Chains A and B, each alone.
Chain A
Amino acid sequence: MRVSRRGFIGALGGAAGAAALARRRLATADVASQDLERWATPEESWVPSICQQCPGGCGLLVRTLDGQVAGLRGNPHHPVNRGALCPKAFGALQLLYDAKRLRGPLVRDGQRGRFRPIAWDEALGLVTKRLGELRAKGLAHTVAILGGQYRGSRDTLFKRFAEAYGTPNYIRVRCLHPEEPALAHRLMQGVTTPLGYDLAGARCILSFGVGLLESWLGPVNASLAFARLRGGDGPRGRLIHVDPRRSQTAVKADRWVPIVPGTDGILALGIANALIREGLYDRDFVSEHTFGFDDWTDARGQRHAGFRDVVLGEYGLLAVSRTTGVPVRTILEVARDLATLRPAVVIGERGPAYGRDDVHTRMAIHSLNALLGSIGVRGGLLVQGELPLAALPPAEQDDAAKRGFAQARIDGAGHGRYLLVSSAPQVLPERISSGEPYPVNALVLFATNPLANHPAKEEFARAFERVPFIVSFSPVLDESAARADLILPDSTFLERWQDDHVRHVAGFTCLSLARPASAPLHDTRDTGDVVLQLAKAVGGSVARSLPWESHEKVLHAGVRGLWQAGRGHVISTPAEESLQRVLERQGYWAPQFASYEKFWEALVARGAWWDPTELPVGRKALLTTPSGKFEFYSTLLRQRVEETLAREGNVAPFVTALGGRDRGDRLYLPAVPLREREEPSDFPLRLNTYRLVTRPLGGGGNQPWLLEQPAVHVRAAWERWVEVHPETAARVGVKDGEWAWVESPKGRIRLRAKLTAGTHPDVVNIPLFGGEGPSPNDLIANEADAFRGFGLLNTTRVRIGKA
């Protein structure tokens, strides 16, 4: 049918719009042939959906013709992206139609790596049997669920399943936790929900290595804010970007500050020094809303050095300049820009890893926000309100569940070295391989491919051999799924119900909701539905905890809260939106819909609900520390250390992870030790990895458009490369476009060298490529950041040579 339609249009000499024209003519001529009608007039509809190629959660409108997806564009009314998109969004079409997608469930056939098709019922029966047996034997806790980067109801379902079934081991492997606040925000402000960055309202943005316009928490939203800095409807603002690499964000910044890698925290303290010395900081905010700025005496009469003295005494501009490689004049100018272009916001969340100085570096960067008084003000950091979703009834735990759930987590998250993290996936392979503290009898993989995309991929591969039963939900036969015993392919995001909450965008709360834009193309199922089906099959309290028929019903139950909240709106046209705003400013809020069903219908038809008026600009909600103030001296961190000492009797692993020795007060202050430059070693260069704007979650190995034109800053197509400074390349005799070996203590890979002057000579840059082929994960050891639980993607030492 479709072929003939295409043939017909082709035969018309490719006149565009032929189908539309044909429709009119047919209609007027009253030709009643049903068949003709059908091929000439595909039924077009635009279905709202949500891009899941990165954590940005942009709203989409998916074009369907007779129910078949045939294009997409940004949802013009969606508050996150207002119709704009990034290149990855279009890859979704190729993800959907990927010829390599699995056609249905597969079961291992003999040895691992060989498969045969299996029916869904039979496959689910296998999982149920296994899960039931383990639970009956009191081994529920030996089931581990490894989940990747996703948010919303699917997270809720897995969490609930783990709880009701009785395993503490729901472990997330991802470098970013959008639903948790950044650690520095947690420690210095006491917040328990993420803060929003009001980029759109800022006049000056200082970014420490975060790929604001390329990756970070969603490049589209940040790009829209950037456009406003560039003179949208106000005076031109400034973007200042600190980065060893001349990234796209650095190119577009008004000022690029190249820096010795890893010294961002010291630069931040240098800027703090300049702000304080020149009296440029926000005195009112600092005196009224902060703690630990001046020297202070505690209840026991002990004196403590304040932030000001530490900064003025130890982070003089000359010393800072020597360590960071940033000229004194630049430090001063950045400080003056921040102080004069208000509101200004400083971003150090996510971005590069700083190894053992990670927490202190991020605290140092965040302390600039306090000095600038950019907390709880428009254009700064704002509280991100909670969505008023209806609370689900609590999960029910029977004895087996209680026993299992009470066991220690296998990855040790929340203890010792990993005191502050909620997941430590990097520890998993070692624990599985050693069988300590207990063996893992079943492993569930969802939306993650650790055998390719984790620095510990080799260890993961070995660990997999020790697990008797592995279930994967991967829609393709990726490296990890290939080692599974059972694959229950998930539908792609255009084929299933989904929701998303974007948490970092300030000024409003928003829930996106989408129905399937198309029926599943293959015999795949929404994993959300599968989790419910499994719960039902396991029975008892597990089934009672997850009583919904389908994923859609779960969403329907939660969304009811939005309708009942008595605030917010289903997104609408700009005209309607401004009317609502006018009314709201006068204190009116009128329900748009007579019943919940009408509300739900509208939400599904338009794609999102949001509450633009809910602006908790006040500082109270933002400062929930013991002192009720912004704490330069983190009493929360001290509390955690003291509690742990009391509970576990030993806090050494944690303090070591925090920077080594006993640092006294320095442990709780944003103080980053000024280290001497390292001596050159056998591996004199530093590997810096970064994420391209064209790289979707999971790597995008199935998205040819993105692979063919991955970047504009180097010439490359369908290949992987390493960016080398021309001087460094000349030293080892590598020319542009030649093959080079990049070698670390862990291993070596061969890549094409691209000479780019826009990098520190001692740094080589490799974009993070996913899936098959040489990748930085072949070089990066399984050293993980104890605080973010992810690999240290830019601290590995390497050398290069001609290949």
Chain B
Amino acid sequence: MALWGMVIDLDRCTGCQACVMACKAENNVPAVGPKEAARGRIISWMHVLREESEERTRFLPRPCLQCDDPPCTKVCPVYATYRNPEGIVAQIHARCIGCRFCMAACPYNAKYFNWLRYQKEGPGQNPDVSVRPKGVVEKCTFCHHRLQKARERARAEGRDLVAGDYVTACAEACPTRAITFGDLLDEGSEVARLARSPRAFRLGEELGTRPKVFYLAEMEGHRRV
């Protein structure tokens, strides 16, 4: 059994948002339009935050951190969100009743609510991801449908899943190669190696959520003037 995880190198991330747009195209996340955006209802499964401090600015891309001990799943009254055996925290839209408890429970604001029916019927959509009606919560799924397709393909070719068969859309697009994705349990994998780096840290470690998204801190050389 794999444990899917991600490492994001903040030394490299330029805040370009290629990951954000790749995610939107992959998962049929629509733009909500000026009115809804002004009410803070933009849906951005992958969202690039900006952290400003005295000495530096850094960009921090935040997908759902796929907590290994997720607070969001525990509060859902209808089991619409759960941690699957490979560690991916899933969201079943057909079951979601829109109570938004999970949104309140997520310390990382990784969940989004469909206040209206934002998704439009239209060409150009990815048929591999499910439709979100009005009134349900959605979030990053680590492009879970890609795992299913990769498995299908491997099975059809009569082989096991190998590293690189399954990558998320954001990792695939990132022009600075800041995002590494893979199986954290596969000792030899790039993602496992980076997660053990002395630069690695996790967001809100003290909360005990044990995210499977790791960050790599910037290296020396950041000076203002």
Contacts and interface: CB of A to CB of B under 8 A. Distances in A.
B124 A254 contact: no
A-B complex: 9 closest residue pairs judged by Cβ atoms: A14-B130, A16-B145, A704-B31, A17-B148, A223-B175, A718-B34, A90-B21, A717-B37, A87-B21
Contacts of A20: 128, 148-149, 152
Interface string A1-38: 01101100110011111011100100000000000000
Interface of A: 2-3, 5-6, 9-10, 13-17, 19-21, 24, 42, 63, 65, 68-74, 81, 83-91, 93, 96-97, 213-214, 219-220, 223-224, 226-227, 230-232, 236, 238, 246, 248-249, 251-252, 254-258, 327, 330, 693-694, 704-709, 712-713, 717-719, 758
Contacts of A257: 225
Given A6-B131, A220-B175, A87 B225 contact: no
Interface of B: 9, 11-12, 14-18, 20-22, 24-26, 30-34, 37-38, 42, 44, 48-50, 56-59, 92-94, 121-131, 144-145, 148-149, 152, 169, 172-178, 219, 221-225
A237 B177 CA distance: 16
A86 B175 contact: yes
Contact of B92 (A13, A214, A230): A13
Contacts of B37: 708, 717-718
Given A2-B123, A17-B152, A87 B16 contact: yes
A157 B44 CA distance: 42
* Most chain A CB within a 10 A radius of its CB, from B59, B121, B127, B224: B127
Could you tell me the dominant secondary structure of chain B's interface residues? loop
Q: Which of A17, A93, A224, A255 has the most CB of B within 10 A?
A: A17
Nearest to A251: B57
Contact of B17 (A223, A236, A246, A712): A712
A702 B44 CA distance: 19
Given A90-B24, A705-B21, A256 B148 contact: no
A268 to B, nearest CB: 18
Contacts of A258: 225
Contacts of A84: 18, 173-175, 177
Contacts of A227: 12, 175-178
Given A707-B31, A708-B31, A90 B145 contact: no
Given A10-B131, A16-B128, A85 B176 contact: no
Nearest to B34: A718
A16 B42 contact: no
Nearest to A3: B121
Nearest to B152: A20
A263 to B, nearest CB: 16
Contacts of A232: 177
B50 A713 contact: yes
A709 B42 contact: yes
Contacts of B221: 236, 238, 254
A248 B20 contact: no
A85 B42 contact: no
Contact of A14 (B42, B92, B149): B92
B17 A694 contact: yes
B128 A19 contact: yes
Contacts of B126: 63, 70-71
Contact of A71 (B25, B34, B58, B92): B25
Contact of A254 (B30, B33, B177, B222): B222
Contacts of A694: 17
B122 A255 contact: no
Given A81-B175, A84-B174, A255 B223 contact: yes
A218 to B, nearest CB: 10
B176 A96 contact: no
A73 B169 contact: yes
8 contacts: A9-B131, A14-B129, A17-B152, A93-B25, A220-B175, A223-B175, A226-B12, A706-B21
A551 B129 CA distance: 37
Contact of A712 (B48, B127, B130): B48
Contacts of B131: 6, 9-10, 14
Contact of B14 (A89, A90, A223, A231): A223
B219 A231 contact: yes
B176 A65 contact: no
Contacts of A719: 34
A693 to B, nearest CB: 5
Contacts of A81: 175
Contacts of A251: 14-15, 56-59
B15 A85 contact: no
B128 A93 contact: no
Contact of A9 (B12, B34, B130): B130
Contacts of B12: 226-227, 230
B61 to A, nearest CB: 9
A48 to B, nearest CB: 16
Given A72-B25, A86-B16, A87-B16, A254 B173 contact: no
Contacts of A717: 34, 37-38, 42
Contact of A97 (B16, B124, B130): B124
Given A226-B12, A251-B59, A712-B17, 19 more contacts: A10-B131, A15-B130, A17-B145, A19-B128, A69-B123, A69-B124, A71-B124, A87-B20, A87-B21, A89-B21, A96-B124, A227-B12, A231-B11, A248-B14, A255-B225, A694-B17, A713-B57, A717-B34, A718-B38
Contacts of B124: 68-71, 93, 96-97
A87 B25 CA distance: 10
Nearest to B150: A17
Nearest to A710: B17
A500 B12 CA distance: 29
A16 B90 CA distance: 11
Contacts of A71: 25-26, 124, 126
